[in-house]
């Protein structure tokens, strides 16, 4: 056991809590290992309910341990809201007994769940449960496409506080026998997959008034869906990823976005100068794999270029600088262009190339800064609009503790 004079006794309580959460995410025996480090860690962790409020079901190796494991976490977290992740590897056929162990325990604490990440095929298992404090629902990445009936989810009373919904890896269908109007919670952040019928467009239309961020994953192709007009009065961030198809892009709706600040478009092609979305007058930040789109943005300040092929990063950078030298009419407010330098990108001596290209841009008379960068993030949203949980499968660890009653 560690002695009171060792450095471990100087670690802040919050840091110990985060270490515990991270270890619990990857190791089913993590809680035991952490609490055995020393008496101080054990006392702190046992007396820190928030440390037990992140539950990762994929670390459980034996189904007979699952019920007990969940019970320990739900009991020791007291009344803290819960963040629960069930991965897609728990398929109905492969682990049906395991699911029978876990679902009753989850339903029992459904009123405390704030963030839930599950495979979409589990949604029907919660038919009789309500989630009064659920803010974020994610459908985990699945090995096979799964289709959801829209009315399995269309229930405001079931998810009265839901704001964030990630459903980019499943399709939506509407039964021909369903004639009632779609009713969804007042979502602020939606990620959805396009499909061959117009159900996904109906979902977006219903949520349009309250959406702050919208992500659409393709394929966006012409399936005969009638084109409609949708107004998004407070939408600030729009992402369209249609890089998964070789067909010509077709978006079944024309969108009005008077508050749009950040726009991301990925198509895997650079042979067009016309963006998929057209209401771009207020956009100041663009992420794209097609630099030909830049002249379509009159208020642009920052561009992030994502290369689909690793070997094309340097070539795209050179092409951009040559366009500046040729006098291509990029908007006068453009100040920064970043090229994503992913692992394995074929760029030799990027610092020297960056310096040379910046000098060429300066000689061309434009005050545009050029940079090679690593991982890139979209601009932060205002604090009022920031999601409770981050965009990845895991929740953010820097939240304030909160209780649900």
Paired tokens of 370: 């050029």
Does residue 403 register a pLDDT over 80? no
Predicted local confidence at residue 25, as pLDDT: 61
CA 295 to chain centre: 28
Domain extent listing, the chain: 1-51
pLDDT digits (tens, 9 = 90+) for 289-302: 888 888 899 999 99
Contact 250, 267 (CB under 8 A): no
Q: Which residue has the higher pLDDT, 262 or 120?
A: 262
Predicted local confidence at residue 392, as pLDDT: 42
Buried b (16+ CB within 10 A) or exposed e, 196-217: eebbbbbbbbbbbebbbbbbbb
Q: Which residue has the higher pLDDT, 130 or 313?
A: 130
Predicted local confidence at residue 404, as pLDDT: 39
Predicted local confidence at residue 48, as pLDDT: 77
pLDDT digits (tens, 9 = 90+) for 163-189: 998 887 676 766 554 555 667 788 999
When the pLDDT of each residue in the chain is averaged and rounded to a whole number, the result is 76
pLDDT digits (tens, 9 = 90+) for 341-398: 655 555 567 778 888 888 988 888 888 888 877 766 666 555 555 555 544 434 543 3
Predicted local confidence at residue 289, as pLDDT: 85
Predicted local confidence at residue 300, as pLDDT: 92
Predicted local confidence at residue 57, as pLDDT: 73
Tell me, letter by letter, the H, E, C secondary structure of 35-65: HCCCHHHHHHHHCCHHHHCEEEHHHCCCHHH
Within 8 A by CB and 6+ apart from 219, the residues are: 194, 242, 244, 245, 247
Predicted local confidence at residue 114, as pLDDT: 92
Predicted local confidence at residue 331, as pLDDT: 81
Predicted local confidence at residue 150, as pLDDT: 64
Cα dist from 45 to 83, 143, 255, whole Å: 17, 36, 49
Q: Among 111-115, 230-234, 306-310, 357-361, which is the least confidently predicted range?
A: 306-310
Tell me the average pLDDT across 54-77: 74
pLDDT digits (tens, 9 = 90+) for 27-43: 655 666 666 666 767 77
Does residue 10 register a pLDDT over 80? no
Paired tokens of 144: 């096979």
Does residue 405 register a pLDDT over 50? no
**Distance of alpha carbon 265 from alpha carbon 278, whole angstroms:** 12
Does residue 335 register a pLDDT over 70? yes
Contact 291, 269 (CB under 8 A): no
C-alpha torsion sign, points 183, 189, 195, 198: positive
Residue 381: how many other CB atoms lie within 10 Å: 17
Does residue 401 register a pLDDT over 50? no
pLDDT digits (tens, 9 = 90+) for 274-290: 888 999 999 999 998 88
pLDDT digits (tens, 9 = 90+) for 98-149: 677 778 888 889 999 999 888 777 777 787 888 999 999 888 765 455 666 6
């Amino acid at each position: 056991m560690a002695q009171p004079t060792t450095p471990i006794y100087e670690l802040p309580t919050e840091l110990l809590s985060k270490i515990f959460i991270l270890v619990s995410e990857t190791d089913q025996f993590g809680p035991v290992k952490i609490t055995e480090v020393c008496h101080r860690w054990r006392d702190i962790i046992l007396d820190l309910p928030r440390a037990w409020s992140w539950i990762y079901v994929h670390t459980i190796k034996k189904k007979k341990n699952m019920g007990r494991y969940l019970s320990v976490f739900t009991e020791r977290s007291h009344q803290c809201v819960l963040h629960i992740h069930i991965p897609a590897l728990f398929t109905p056929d492969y682990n049906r007994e395991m699911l029978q162990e876990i679902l009753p325990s989850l339903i029992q604490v459904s009123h405390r769940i704030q963030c839930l990440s599950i495979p979409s095929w589990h949604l029907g298992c919660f038919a009789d449960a309500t989630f009064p404090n659920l803010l974020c629902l994610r459908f985990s990445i699945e090995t096979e496409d799964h289709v959801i009936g829209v009315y399995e989810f269309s229930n405001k009373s079931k998810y009265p506080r839901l704001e964030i919904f990630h459903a980019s890896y499943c399709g939506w269908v509407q039964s021909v026998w369903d004639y009632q109007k779609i009713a969804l919670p007042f979502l602020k952040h939606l990620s959805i997959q396009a499909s061959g019928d117009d159900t996904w467009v109906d979902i977006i239309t219903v949520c349009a008034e309250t959406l702050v961020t919208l992500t659409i994953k393709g394929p966006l192709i012409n399936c005969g869906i009638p084109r409609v007009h949708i107004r998004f009065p407070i939408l600030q961030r729009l992402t369209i990823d249609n890089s998964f198809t070789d067909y010509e892009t077709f978006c079944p709706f024309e969108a009005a976005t008077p508050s749009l600040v950040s726009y991301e478009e990925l198509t895997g092609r650079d042979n067009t100068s016309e963006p998929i979305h057209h209401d771009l007058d207020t956009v100041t930040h663009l992420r794209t794999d097609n630099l030909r789109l830049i002249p379509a943005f009159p208020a642009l300040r920052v561009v992030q270029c994502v290369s689909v092929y690793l070997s094309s990063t340097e070539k795209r950078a050179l092409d951009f600088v040559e366009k500046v030298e040729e006098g291509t009419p990029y908007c006068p407010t453009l100040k920064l262009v970043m090229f994503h330098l992913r692992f394995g990108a074929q760029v030799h001596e990027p610092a020297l190339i960056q310096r040379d290209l910046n000098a060429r841009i300066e000689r061309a008379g434009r005050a545009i800064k050029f940079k090679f960068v690593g991982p890139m993030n979209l601009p932060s949203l205002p604090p009022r609009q920031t999601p409770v949980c981050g965009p990845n499968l895991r929740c953010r660890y820097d939240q304030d503790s909160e209780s649900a009653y």
